[in-house]
Amino acid sequence: MYTEYTLGATDLAHISADIMRYRNTIIRALEADSQKDFERITESLPAQRARIQHAVDRYAAAGLRVSRSGRSEPEDIEAVRRSLDQYFSVASTTVQLLTQEWTAVSPTAREAIRRKAEEHASDNAGHKMTQVSLALDRLLDTVADVAKDMRDEGTKTIQRTSLLLVGGSFFIALLNLFFTRQRGGNPRQADGPNQPAINSLHDPIPLPLASDTPQPALRSG
């Protein structure tokens, strides 16, 4: 679970780079020299936006937590979503202004619309972009805090499991020692009372000595 969680956090960290890529695409659209270049540049914006939102949704679906220090992932992820919605709305306005520029008839109107689009991208979109960055930074700090809690919980679980394994191995060793001594002691107890009788069967029978044989009386001649 910890591994899956950290992988989701890694995907979330890529959002910042994707947001910057989206922002740079808007800037490139402002600098386009022709309507054809403008359309070619901006055609990738919907896919970029969808990728960013998908990354946020995927992370939120992994399960959100509150760290021991009180940092809340549900609150922070909602803050990121709100800031992203606001930024995308402002960026869409910039793109709409640029579209009007290329459809304007007179050069004067075109220049006025371009100036308005540039100011909008710099003031409004720039401010919203800063809000997105701050919300992402806070969320990433919360993610790191929660991941630390999960790692600590995993370490404690491993330690408890190791203690149980060591205790079980020690108990099994004691049981083996007990049964081994039981099997080794029974034959000696069985042989003890009968040992003299068994030994008597194997004792050699003493042979009579010549001096022990009675001698017949010598007859006198």
3-state percent breakdown (helix, strand, coil) of the chain, nearest 5? 80, 0, 15
**In the structure encoding, which two tokens stand for residue 9, read together?**
């956090």
Contact 118, 173 (CB under 8 A): no
Is the pLDDT at 84 greater than 80? The verdict is yes
Q: Assign 3-class secondary structure to 155-186.
A: HHHHHHHHHHHHHHHHHHHHHHHHHHHHHHHH
Quote the Cα angle for 144-12-73, to 5°.
Answer: 50
What DSSP designation does 66 have? B
What number of CA atoms fall less than 13 Å from residue 72's CA on the CB side? 5
Examine the pLDDT at 175 and tell me if it is beyond 70: no
CB 30 within 8 A of CB 116: no
| Distance of alpha carbon 154 from alpha carbon 133, whole angstroms | 31
The sign of the dihedral angle between the CA atoms of 33, 37, 43, 45 is negative
Lowest mean pLDDT, pick from 24-28, 182-186, 199-203: 199-203
Q: What is the pLDDT of residues 101-112, one digit of tens each?
A: 998 889 999 999
Highest mean pLDDT range out of 126-140, 161-175, 186-200? 126-140
Instruction: Give CB contacts under 8 A, 24+ apart, made by 29-37.
Output: 29/94, 29/95, 29/98, 30/94, 30/98, 30/114, 30/117, 30/118, 30/121, 32/98, 35/102
**Where along the chain do its domains lie?**
2-154
Is a pLDDT exceeding 70 seen at residue 34? yes
Picking from 113, 135, 134, 132, the residue whose alpha carbon sits closest to that of residue 124 is 132
Q: Which CATH architecture has domain 2-154?
A: Up-down Bundle (1.20)
List 66's β-bridge partners, or say none.
72
- SS3 of residue 163 by DSSP: helix
Structure-token pair, residue 99: 């579209």
The radius of gyration of the chain from alpha carbons, rounded to an integer in Å, stands at 46
Choice between 179 and 53, residue whose per-residue pLDDT is larger: 53
pLDDT tier at 217, thresholds 50, 70, 90: very low
SS3 95: helix
